[in-house]
Amino acid sequence: MSDTPFDQLDGLIWYDGKMVDWRDAKIHVLSHALHYGSCVFEGERVYGGKIFKLREHTERLRDSGKILGFDLPYTVEEIDQACIDCCEANGIVDGYVRPVAWRGSEMMGVSAQATKIHVAIAVWPWPSYFSPEARMRGIRLQTAKWRRPAPDTAPVHAKASGLYMICTMSKHRAEDEGFDDALMLDWEGRIAESTGSNIFIVMGDDKLHTPIPDCFLDGITRRSVIELAKQRQIEVIERRIMPEELETATEIFVTGTAAEVTPVGEIDGRKFTVGTITKTLMDDYDALVGNKRESAASAA
């Protein structure tokens, strides 16, 4: 990506049912979403012209809106088609798709019953979330001070923009201190996830352990990787995992639409190797989504 700000790129954005010029896709400063966080979004990747798990992402967008108390003014089919049209209109064959839905400016206050729901979709080229070097050696994580909130204190299963406030703060602190990203614990001190990805841990038993997504997003990539592991006869154990257990961890990786499968090389100074299970699942995930890049196993 160039350093051009995102509002200054060229292209077309699908905005409330129409394709508009990229630079004209604006909102008013008195939009409810901006003041009160009434906004949900998705992140999808298009590989070789096909959006991976498009329907699941659109359904999650619809469900996130419902959790926040609003219905999208378009059907799932219409939004699927708009995502596809948007890729075509911008000539994006490999890239990132960002649908977003938010409350407009008809009311300004906590109550927002009569606000119009807007939907927009933007697409752009986006190679790798972490640098190729970070992907090879494994990213460095720092445990965040902020914790994922308890399920009865926030809409934890929605991909809601307000939930990312503590993610940005945690990731900034990690980056300022030389790390790539932050590892977030939950309200009970258990390992939860990273700021934009889920986490998997290979313990000494060569089984794959991953936290139960009871207070954070059950990622679409997470579910795909669990299936891939099962196809490889790798046992997956979903359970509550405490940070002290990292002492017996041998391999760690994170999963997400943006992160794909990315190895973790370090957490707070403790080192991990980019091992066989991680490399196998990196390659299996690339094969599943149709991502053509050098095999992680053979590049080692």
Q: Nearest to ligand PMP by Cβ — which residue?
A: 219
Residue 210 makes contact with ligand PMP by CB under 6 A: no
- Of 79 and 220, CB closest to ligand PMP: 220
159 is catalytic: yes
CA 196 to CA 211: how far, in whole Å? 15
Residues 166-195 that bind ligand PMP (CB under 6 A): 193
Candidates 83, 160, 166, 220: give the one binding ligand PMP (CB under 6 A).
Answer: 220
Least gap, CB of 102 to ligand PMP (angstroms): 17
And the tokens for 239? 């359970």
Taking CB under 6 A as the binding criterion, the range among 105-113, 150-158, 170-178, 250-258 that sits at the site for ligand PMP is 250-258
Which candidate in 53, 159, 171, 279 is catalytic? Answer: 159
Count of CB atoms within 10 A of residue 103's CB? Answer: 26
- Of 90 and 255, CB closest to ligand PMP: 255
Give the 3-state secondary structure of residue 189.
coil
Furthest-apart CA pair in the chain: how many Å? 57
Task: Give me the residue label for tokens 């700021």.
Answer: 195
Q: Cα-atom radius of gyration of the chain, to the nearest Å? A: 19
Residue 222 makes contact with ligand PMP by CB under 6 A: yes
Task: Give me the residue label for tokens 């313990």.
Answer: 203
Give the 3-state secondary structure of residue 130.
coil
Handedness of CA 109, 110, 113, 116 (dihedral sign): positive
CA 240 to CA 33: how far, in whole Å? 34
Residue 257 makes contact with ligand PMP by CB under 6 A: yes
Candidates 138, 196, 211, 263: give the one binding ligand PMP (CB under 6 A).
Answer: 196
Among all residues, which ones are annotated catalytic?
A: 159
Chain residues binding ligand PMP by CB under 6 A are 43, 159, 193, 196-198, 216-217, 219-222, 255-257
